[in-house]
Structure 1
Amino acid sequence: MNNRLLSASASSRQTRGRNNIRISANTVRRRLSTSGLRARRRYIGPILTQRHRHQRTLCAQEHGAWDRIQWRSVVFSVEFRFCTDHADGRVRVWRRSGERYQADCVREHDRWGGASLMMWSAISYNDRNGPVFTQ
């Protein structure tokens, strides 16, 4: 499939079968499904440069062999931002299983901008904290 963002209906309008006969949207959906493609929402992730990707790889290599004792000193925290001023923009993309992070299946976005609600939480080996909300 050349354009992963094209809906099955739009694809059926652009595609012709034998004898120049129009193909139905359901036929397009069946053929895509047979090929292992499913319509899914695009993964939305941070903008990553080559430097970011390289640093993440180095970090994974450095910490990949840590034992349980070393991991006990680590605190994992998470921060979520819920947008309150616009829709989530559910654009579907046709992809196979395992292609979630492939470049043409990701919609990059700038995380800072617009009205929102923030939530933080953290967890470690021996403890966790509940979510904290701010506006």
Structure 2
Amino acid sequence: MNVNKTTIFRLRQRLHETDTVSDRPCSGRRRCTTQRQDRNLVRNHMNHRFLSAPASSRQTRGRNDQRISANTVRRRLSTSGLRARRPYIGPTLTQRHRHQSTLWAQKHAAWDRIQLQSVVFSDESRFCIDHAHGRVRVWRRSGERYQTDCVREHDRWVEHL
């Protein structure tokens, strides 16, 4: 096992005394949220991906009705695998648009590079009209970048009054 003999001896002794080998409670400050509150925080951020940690901390109360900090919210979300990242910003697409794009891609899958260079994709340019660059964050797990509820959609054809 490549472990010291005293480690094995102590683990056997702890198993015999407490029926478990898990660590005993350590000293230190008690967590300000319960496991149930942690699950609620994660569920809330999974339903509202663009909710900020400070806004979530204002809505959530910890044990004994005490306030929790935004850093506490970030730590709880981080342990569940959620990270605050810049969202993918794409055009507003309906289900019909997505279907048409898929059909076009399947139809032209055999095109070579020279043929594709003659095509102009209208969603390649990025213009920032309605928000500051990079300040909006989405809480998501790894691999969820293009998931529908993690994409911040915007309409490029904004009419000016």
* TM-score interval (norm. to shorter): 0.5 to 0.7
Distance 1:82 1:50, change over 3 A: closer
SS at match of 2:125: strand
Q: What is the total number of aligned residue pairs between the two structures?
A: 111
Which residue does the alignment assign to 1:41?
86
Q: What root-mean-square deviation, in Å, do the aligned CA atoms of Structure 1 and Structure 2 show?
A: 2.8
| CA positional deviation for 1:113 | 4.0
1:74 and 2:119 correspond = no
Contact 1:12 1:28 in 2 (8 A): yes
Return the letter of the residue paired with 2:64: N
Cα distance between partner residues in 1 of 2:131 and 2:69: 33
SS at match of 1:73: helix
Structure with bigger gyration radius: 2
| CA positional deviation for 1:53 | 0.9
| Structure 2: unaligned runs, 5 residues or longer | 1-42
Q: Which structure shows the higher strand fraction?
A: 1
Q: TM-score, normalised by structure 2?
A: 0.55
Return the letter of the residue paired with 1:15: T
Q: Deviations over 1:101-121 (max 9, x none)?
A: 222222221213489xxxxxx
Q: TM-score, normalised by structure 1?
A: 0.64
